[in-house]
Amino acid sequence: MQSYFAPGKVMLTGEYAVLKGLEAFAFPTKQGQWLDVFVYDTPKDTQPTLTYNAANHQGETWLSASYDLLEFKWIESSYDADFLSKIMEMVRNDFWQEGKSYRLETRLEFDRNAGLGSSSTFISLISRFFRLDPFQVQREVFGGSGYDVAIAEVGKSLRFSLVNDSVHFRQWEISEELTADWYIAFIGSKIDSRESSKEVSDKLDLLWEDEFYKSQLEHVSRLIAEANNTMVLETGLEMYQTLLSQLLELKRPYETLGLKAIPRGLCKWLGAWGGDMLLVNKIFLEQYEAELNEFNIQPWNEVIAKQ
């Protein structure tokens, strides 16, 4: 048996704008997804097959499929998973060992609806096994910038950018002392970041054409990258989401949740706006504990992997 692991991800900044070249800041999570691979002799009088089973964080199978390795087609699938067919089309025919069958099993450590990267970790894992370029697989199967795949591949906090469809990233660290009073509120309503990006695509096109917003977002990104204390970091995050909200005409979490901003309080979407996750600091959480009580709230430093 071969086993592979890929960590989940949290995007601090860069949502939507990363598709237009703005640098994104993202972190790996302690929890991720596993892939176990079993290779065995094909039983007599049967055709070699690949079977795939995917389990959620509770150990329940949510997807199962079988693939005929002689006719290169799916025999059956419990899920309308076109992405599996696209991936299999990318695998070289000479990858398969003669007379062998395969069983692939993935196991998530986090809730599929948490927004921590069930798709990106899968892309990373399956690409490693099939010896494929994970960024090419990501582009052809799911689309998006690929920052989440980079996190799954490297397992480090990164500054990520996409320039002319070329992926660039470098390691970026932030002290746990700066995030000691941060919390992640898991909303429990999964947002497809790729679909939500399509919805604001026309406004995204204006992002790099508007020199004011472009320069301001770049300036705030540098402020965040160079922040050496929590107040500067949190101020930068609030400035960032305010600018993006104005440009893309998207609601900040305050408007969505019907809550007021408070002095020194922080409340920011993480990733796609409108769902998945919120970043709040201790001041904001204590002020609105009752209103946020319905969400699954975990300390940032307990979710994010140590660097």
Express each pLDDT in 101-141 by its tens digit. Answer: 999 999 999 999 899 999 999 999 999 999 999 999 999 99
pLDDT number for residue 65: 92
φ, ψ of residue 81 in degrees (nearest 5): -115, 80
Q: Report the run of H or E that residue 233 belongs to, with start and end.
A: helix 230-248
Q: d(Cα 174, Cα 224) in Å, to the nearest integer?
A: 10
Categorize the per-residue pLDDT at 221 as very low, low, confident or very high, splitting at 50, 70 and 90. Answer: very high
Mean pLDDT of 202-227: 84
Domains, the chain, ordered by start: 2-170 (3.30.230.10), 174-303 (3.30.70.890)
Categorize the per-residue pLDDT at 193 as very low, low, confident or very high, splitting at 50, 70 and 90. Answer: low
For residues 27 and 178, the answer to whether their CB atoms sit within 8 Å is no
Question: Residue 163: what residue type?
Answer: V
Query: Per the structure block, which two tokens stand in for 307?
Result: 């660097």
Which pTM was predicted?
0.92
pLDDT number for residue 204: 73
pLDDT in tens, 35-79: 999 999 999 889 999 999 999 999 999 999 999 999 888 888 777
Cα–Cα nearest to 307, from 117, 118, 176:
176
Indicate whether 160 pLDDT > 80.
yes
pLDDT number for residue 190: 62
Say if residue 125 is exposed, middle or buried (CB neighbours under 10 Å; 0-12, 13-18, 19+). Answer: buried
Indicate whether 207 pLDDT > 70.
no
Categorize the per-residue pLDDT at 192 as very low, low, confident or very high, splitting at 50, 70 and 90. Answer: low
Mean pLDDT of 280-286: 98
Q: Which residue has the higher pLDDT, 21 or 155?
A: 155
pLDDT number for residue 288: 97
